[in-house]
Structure 1
Amino acid sequence: MYAESAAIPARQPVLPPGLPITATLLWMGALLASAAPWFGELDPGALLAAFWTFDAGDYSSVLAHYSWAPRVSIAILIGCGLGLAGAVTQQILGNPLASPTTLGVEAGGQFGVTVGTMFFPGLLAFSPDLVAVAGGLMAIGLVIALTWRLGFSPVTVILAGLVVTFFLGAVNMAFLLLKGEWLGNLFIWGAGSLVQNNWHPFMELWPRVLALAVLMLLLMRPLRVLQLGQTSASSLGAKVGMIRLLTLLLVVLMTATVVSRVGVVAFVGLAAPVLARLLGARTLGARLLWSSLLGGGLLLLADTLAHWASTWGDGSLVPTGTTTALIGGPIILVALQGFKNTHHMPGQDASPAGFLPKRRPVMLVGSVAITLLLVTTVISMSWSPGLEGWSWTAFSQWHEAWVWRGPRLLAAILAGVALGLAGTLIQRMTGNAMASPEMLGISGGAAVVMVLIVLSGADIGRAGQLGGATLGAAAALGLLILLARKHHFAGNQLLLGGLALYVFMDAGLRLVMASGGTVASQLLNWMYGSTWLVSENEALGLLALILLISATLLLVVRPLTILPLGETSASALGLPVTKMRLVLLLLAALLTASATVVIGPLSFVGLIAPHLARVLGQQTVGRQLIVAALAGGLLLGIADYLSRIVVYPNQLPAGLLAALVGGVYFLWGLSRHGRA
């Protein structure tokens, strides 16, 4: 019987016909769309011949040979390389959402090029690859170190990777705002552009991409062993750690080499492998092959769309990085909706004994926080640098200084209060101590609308901008509700949907950086939390809104106390879990939007403030809300003051300083949970 069973040949997975058909249609569509503008000037034969020759007497032939053909070639080359790198990354981490993008590699590469431009221009001139590879290795090293103990679970890896991207992006933006005259063109390049005017970049790049691809393919056998799991692979003699490190090094080399040449277009490294999986590629060889082919077609299509958008618009460059991000967003969305393995969320498995500090009276902690807020207000209003050095403004002269210092300080404190309250609501509702308003994408919705308003040139005034940003936040909230509704607004799915929305905000940010100009610079200042545009009416309006919402929060203390017990227990106690989660989400979104339209979308105060309240011994819902609100106001109040004086007479956005501190805190928090 056993002999007969052994004689039965093992069946290989059948390749679904939809996969090659889709790949063929994608390539044909991308090639035809790219060639369509040339059909009126060159016949198909001459256009095809442009890849290797040209007619010196025909300007269109020369232009096609030195501009169109190398652009098509480099798009296909880079797309295939990034598709392969993404498939390999997913294989070694066992994570269908791992990619050079979600692991922060391309952000690290851009950070390396920025630092090289600022401090080591000689090294950058010698080889841009070195600094880009160093930055990519640093970024992926952070992500691996933070998620190693948590088993590389999908949600944890994405959270760590995107926060590393947030943090490095904030550092890059600080350099840009301080040294914009040196780094402006660098950030236009960093948005991702495949524009070519000769064959030199392609000829320089293809041997490197080919060599790295061959090395990855040589590791196919060890990569297949990893499919058995770490324990089984180790028992067969495979050095799992060495295989992972070597393969990740090749992925970083591939991604950083591309980033150093054409900027950030690495969403293809996520979209192509996910598409290959969704279309039925089951074996490792099939995934590597079809991910490479789909990557080439996707990037060529994205680049063609970017070229069309630049042509149809006012002539401004639309970067390829924007269109690849717009393609990557829906891909993430589709993949996230099918996730089952959302355990190991940071904070869920933490030991209560290790994270319950000594309880302290709320009156004592609140009094200290209020005192520090008053001290911050006095110092901010009175002690500041001027044209003649530092000076003290007497209280009797505050009415003169109020116009310049008062509204922005009040708005910063109120925005911190709003984010502290929103962060507490979100963390309690999701049961995730690493959640924050930024992670829900609501801030991103407001930011995208502001981007569109400014880039369209519409003169609608400050009130119109605030109204549009509010509508954007509401639209993002509505989309988030649709995404999470079938999961009963469960915490993990809310966070995953918010991360997908972040991808679209990233596309808008890259579009702004590519547009350049004074308007783009002002918009970027707002997006990273500048408060100097806030008027007194806006600050007072924010005060009224927060007071109204704070009164409403008194009604949700009991539901917030019951929800962490779990859906079954909460329902047994008579709580309508789904409806209550929706109400809490609406309140958190309104608080987040009100802060975002005033100081911008990125600060991480909503992450830090609830943690500070917990560290200060406030464990119950009501006490945590009060202390988190005070801590958030204090943090942004101090950040606003420092933003005025640190680089005087220049200014940094207050939200940028808060984001830098928040990013460090988040990374430290992840590592702490990893040790728990």
Structure 2
Amino acid sequence: MSYEATLTTPGRPKMPTRLPATVILLCLLAFLASALPWLQQLSPLQLVSAFWTYDGDQYASVLAHFSWAPRLSMALLIGCALGLSGAITQQVLGNPLASPTTLGVESGGQFGITMATLFAPGLLALSPDIAAVAGGLLAIGLVILLTWRLGFSPVTVILAGLVVTFFLGAINMALLLLKGEWLGNLFIWGAGSLAQNNWTPFFDLLPKVLIIAALMLTLIRPLQLLQLGQTSANALGAKVSLLRATALFLVVAMTSVVVSRVGVVAFVGLAAPVLARLLGARTLTERLFWSTLAGAGILLSADTLAYWTTSLSGGSLVPTGTTTALIGGPIILLALQGFRDAHPMPGHETSPSDFLPPRRNPFQVAGLLSALLAITIILSMSWSPGLEGWNWTPFTQWTDAWVWRGPRLMAAILAGMALGMAGTLIQRMTGNPMGSPELLGISGGAALVMVALALTGLDLGRAGQLAAATLGACGALALLLLLARKHRFSGNQLLLGGLALYVFMDAGLRLVMATGGTLASKLLNWMYGSTWLISEVEAFGLLALVVGLGGLTLLTLRPLTLLPLGETSASALGLHVPRTRLLLLLLAAALTAASTVVIGPLSFVGLIAPHLARVLGQQTVGKQLIAAALAGGLLLAIADYLARLLVYPNQLPAGLLAALVGGLYFLWGLGRHGKN
């Protein structure tokens, strides 16, 4: 009797009929949808024969043989590879949200290819797989290092994977903006397209996938022992650490060779195992087999949708990576339905924190931050490089320098203040120090509307963009509230809902990147906070908006003081908790939208500024709000100044520098939490 059978006493569970029926039907329907346009020109027999031969006198037959058949074969091969990789990953980590996408492996593979393109092109000539595998190992190594002590808590794993993806993506974008002439085509490719014009890529990838898959399947019996827990598996002779390392290395290798061929095809490795489990796959063998087939069906369906969308849009490329990314958000939420995460949220301590900064005089702290901000303003306006080296601009000439330096500096400071206040509201309301507008998807909702405006070509002006971004943030917020309502706006559901919204924003970005050209460059500049686009009118409009919204935050002092006492105590003191949380989230959304229009959605200032306020000893709500606003303004003022200097005469987006620093800070925060 096999060991798998002994694990499922008193009898082996019977596989439900719906599992094979659904997966096979999915594959067949995807195949038929893919073949449908060609059946108008070729008979079914001619179309099937296109996989091995073609009629040179018939153009449709040639096109089917060299384009449709290899593309369909590539979709099936890569879908199988990613489905198997996702199932192995979830088994190794015991986490229903683990996948190459949520662990950052795919973004790591693209990062490796990017670095090799710039600094070691000879390595790509030797084999692009080496660079992709190295990048994938870097990404998954960071995620595992950060979440190991938390037992790979599902929420923590996807947060760590998301921020690793943020961080590596920010580096990628910095390189793209600086070296666009070298990397432009690379990022069009990186959006994930399966379009083919011959069979060579398929036959190059096939043996590699088969070899890695065979090595994965040799681990089935040892992996079954992991279901008993680490202690029992070790007692039965399994070397758990070595087993996990080997399996994850194979997952990275499989994912990276795929990324090196077709770019980032996200979330197939998550969707396939989730579908197999929901349809009734119970044993490891069943999950691996049906996840592999489900991955093929899912990716072929997504690729067919991308093909149809490309055709209907007049030939504008819609990469497969876009359509697969669109399924990621719903799959994440579906995977967590009914799943109870026993681990604490990042930032939620099981015991009082060992680190409690001493309280400091708020006037001294505000004075210090204001003085540093004033120094930054003076340096930014006066001391900068020019055609003849570094120059000092006297105060009497600031009126001339204002046109070039003033509005962008003013907008950066105001955006930082808005994010500092928004971050404080969110962290106080959720009780989670790792919460921020970026991680709750509010920034992503505003950004998604901006992406849609760019794609449709609508020019609404800055005021119209602000209004649209605010609507996007509120729309994201409304969806977030629907998702979290039955959990009374708990931290878990808020963060997971925000992640799902980020996934949709990422799909829009992939679509824009695939278009290339000036639209992609302009939008990417804005996404990462290009303050040089700000005019004087826009800067003063933002001033009025931030001052008005900042005044409204004064009304939140009592609610934010009572909410940490718990819902029961706050209600007993006369606070209507659900309504209060809703109003606080709306205010945070408005502040976030105002800053997102200026600095982009990925700055992480909303995460860092409230923490700096606490480090400076500002523990009460009002003091923390003021200190966080000043700290946020200071952070983005410094970022804007450095963005002008670091690569002069070129410029980096200020938000990009803030994202790099913020990503490092978040990773450090997760790692510190794991050590508590």
> Which TM class, normalised by the smaller chain length?
over 0.9
Q: Partner letter of residue 532 of structure 1? A: W
Distance in 1 (alpha carbons) for counterparts of 2:577 and 2:231: 40
Please say if 1:379 is aligned against 2:352: no
The aligned counterpart of 2:45 is: 45
Q: Partner letter of residue 427 of structure 2? A: Q
Distance in 2 (alpha carbons) for counterparts of 1:238 and 1:443: 45
Secondary structure, aligned partner of 1:438: coil
Distance in 2 (alpha carbons) for counterparts of 1:38 and 1:192: 23
The aligned counterpart of 1:3 is: none
Give the drift of 1:289: 1.1
Give the drift of 1:571: 3.2
The aligned counterpart of 1:163 is: 163
Distance in 2 (alpha carbons) for counterparts of 1:598 and 1:555: 26
The aligned counterpart of 1:196 is: 196
Please say if 1:585 is aligned against 2:595: no
Q: Is the 8 A contact 1:321 1:507 kept in 2?
A: yes
Please say if 1:638 is aligned against 2:650: no
Aligned-CA RMSD value: 1.5
Give the drift of 1:9: 7.0
Give the drift of 1:350: 6.2
Question: Relative to structure 2, which stretch is displaced further, 494-503 or 338-347?
Answer: 338-347
After TM superposition, list the pairs within 5 Å mapping 1:302-381 onto structure 2.
Answer: 302-341=302-341, 343-349=343-349, 351-381=351-381
Give the drift of 1:404: 1.4
Q: Is the 8 A contact 1:473 1:589 kept in 2?
A: yes
The aligned counterpart of 1:647 is: 647
Secondary structure, aligned partner of 1:347: coil
Report Cα offsets for 1:324-344 as digits up to 9, x if no partner.
001222211222343321632
Give the drift of 1:654: 0.3
Please say if 1:440 is aligned against 2:443: no
Q: Is the 8 A contact 2:474 2:586 kept in 1?
A: no
Give the drift of 1:269: 0.5
Give the drift of 1:353: 4.6
- TM-score, normalised to structure 1, is 0.97
Q: How many residues matched?
A: 670
Distance in 1 (alpha carbons) for counterparts of 2:158 and 2:581: 24
Secondary structure, aligned partner of 2:533: coil
CA pair 342-155 structure 1, distance change in 2 beyond 3 A: farther
The aligned counterpart of 1:231 is: 231
CA pair 387-440 structure 1, distance change in 2 beyond 3 A: same
Q: Partner letter of residue 76 of structure 1? A: L
Give the drift of 1:351: 5.0
Secondary structure, aligned partner of 2:399: helix
After TM superposition, list the pairs within 5 Å mapping 1:462-611 onto structure 2.
Answer: 462-611=462-611
Report Cα offsets for 1:499-553 as digits up to 9, x if no partner.
1111001101111111100121011000001111112222222222222222222
Secondary structure, aligned partner of 1:39: helix
Report Cα offsets for 1:142-175 as digits up to 9, x if no partner.
0000000111101110110100000000000000
The aligned counterpart of 2:264 is: 264
Give the drift of 1:479: 1.1
Give the drift of 1:586: 1.1
Q: Is the 8 A contact 1:255 1:266 kept in 2?
A: no
CA pair 661-9 structure 1, distance change in 2 beyond 3 A: closer
The aligned counterpart of 2:133 is: 133
The aligned counterpart of 1:669 is: 669
Give the drift of 1:253: 0.4
The aligned counterpart of 1:285 is: 285
Q: Partner letter of residue 195 of structure 1? A: A
Distance in 1 (alpha carbons) for counterparts of 2:539 and 2:353: 41
The aligned counterpart of 2:178 is: 178
Distance in 2 (alpha carbons) for counterparts of 1:189 and 1:171: 17
CA pair 568-223 structure 1, distance change in 2 beyond 3 A: farther
The aligned counterpart of 2:3 is: none
After TM superposition, the runs of 4+ consecutive aligned structure 1 residues lying more than 4 A away are: none
- TM-score, normalised to structure 2, is 0.97
Question: Relative to structure 2, which stretch is displaced further, 202-211 or 172-181?
Answer: 202-211
CA pair 613-9 structure 1, distance change in 2 beyond 3 A: closer
Q: Is the 8 A contact 2:192 2:319 kept in 1?
A: yes
Distance in 2 (alpha carbons) for counterparts of 1:219 and 1:289: 14
Secondary structure, aligned partner of 2:659: helix
The aligned counterpart of 2:96 is: 96
Q: Is the 8 A contact 2:101 2:266 kept in 1?
A: yes
After TM superposition, list the pairs within 5 Å mapping 1:54-69 onto structure 2.
Answer: 54-69=54-69
Distance in 2 (alpha carbons) for counterparts of 1:263 and 1:295: 17
Secondary structure, aligned partner of 1:147: helix
Secondary structure, aligned partner of 1:352: coil
Report Cα offsets for 1:64-123 as digits up to 9, x if no partner.
111110100010000011001001101111110000000000011000000000000001
Q: Structure 1: which 5+ residue stretches go unaligned?
A: 1-5
Q: Partner letter of residue 31 of structure 1? A: F
Give the drift of 1:641: 0.9
The aligned counterpart of 1:430 is: 430
Q: Is the 8 A contact 1:424 1:628 kept in 2?
A: yes
Give the drift of 1:368: 0.4
Q: Structure 2: which 5+ residue stretches go unaligned?
A: 1-5
Question: Relative to structure 2, which stretch is displaced further, 326-335 or 664-673?
Answer: 326-335
Please say if 1:393 is aligned against 2:393: yes
Secondary structure, aligned partner of 2:648: coil
Distance in 2 (alpha carbons) for counterparts of 1:416 and 1:542: 12
The aligned counterpart of 2:10 is: 10
Secondary structure, aligned partner of 2:327: helix
The aligned counterpart of 2:658 is: 658
Distance in 2 (alpha carbons) for counterparts of 1:596 and 1:278: 38
Distance in 2 (alpha carbons) for counterparts of 1:314 and 1:533: 31
The aligned counterpart of 2:154 is: 154
Q: Partner letter of residue 603 of structure 1? A: S
Q: Partner letter of residue 203 of structure 2? A: M
Q: Is the 8 A contact 2:462 2:538 kept in 1?
A: no
Distance in 2 (alpha carbons) for counterparts of 1:538 and 1:124: 45
Identity of aligned residues (%): 73
Please say if 1:82 is aligned against 2:82: yes
CA pair 337-405 structure 1, distance change in 2 beyond 3 A: farther
Q: Is the 8 A contact 1:272 1:292 kept in 2?
A: yes
CA pair 409-364 structure 1, distance change in 2 beyond 3 A: same
Q: Partner letter of residue 308 of structure 1? A: W
CA pair 360-509 structure 1, distance change in 2 beyond 3 A: same
The aligned counterpart of 1:25 is: 25
Q: Partner letter of residue 296 of structure 1? A: A
Distance in 1 (alpha carbons) for counterparts of 2:430 and 2:461: 37
Report Cα offsets for 1:340-374 as digits up to 9, x if no partner.
21632111116535221222111111100001111
Distance in 2 (alpha carbons) for counterparts of 1:343 and 1:567: 21
